[in-house]
Amino acid sequence: MMAKRRKGLSERHKKILEVLERYQSDVGYPPSIREIGKETNISSTSVVNYYLNQLEEDGYIERDRKVSRGVRLIKTLAGPIQSAAEKVQTALEELINVPVIGRIVASEPVQVPSSDFAYYDPDSSVQIASNLLSTGDKKEDLFALEVEGDSMIDAMVNDGDIVVMKRAQDAQNGEMVAVWLTDKDETTLKYFFKENGGVRLQPANPTMQPIIVDNPQAVQVQGKVVMVIRQMENSVN
């Protein structure tokens, strides 16, 4: 008579996997056969071995029967477990190099080329984690600028910080943007507001006055701030 084929994992299989995962996470080494039995209310070590053999056949664990704790969890109910090397590789793959293409003034606007968007040094870049970006942000649309000035200090943007920008040609009210004032050939970093038929470029510094531009065509948005990299704290906000 042929043995009845198993269909999936039983509750006992799942409980054993949960014990193995908990030990690996909390203790750092595998449980013994007796510890598995105690945690899953299985009194017989042979029964524990029976279930472990099936989990090995199904690719959830690897076993070294020469040692007492020779059970290694390689897959959980959620999926395969990454090795340390695989985790490092995944982390490296998730890092994005963003070119630092120049400087942007966060004070009174200054004339180009002091904040020249066209400047690009291929050796200058910052690395950011891709999971910090919004879903719609594409890495090819990103660039970074070094901030000069203190008009945005209340927005946690200080002199010397790096702002990561997303290329854009328009902005919504309240967004922090890099703009080029075409009539003055000047650039600046400010909050953007359309109002009264013109544009208000608002600093985040109570000691400074907003820049009012009556002709909205003279304000060309170059990009929107998506991330700030603090210089001194070496952290991302």
Residues taking part in catalysis: 151, 190
Tell me how crowded residue 176 is: count the other CB atoms within 10 A of its CB: 22
Side-chain half-sphere exposure of 199, counting CA atoms within 13 A: 23
Tell me how crowded residue 105 is: count the other CB atoms within 10 A of its CB: 22
Contact between 153 and 203 (Cβ < 8 Å): no
Q: Which residue reads 């004032």 in tokens?
A: 181
Of all helices (H) and strands (E), which one includes residue 73? strand 71-73
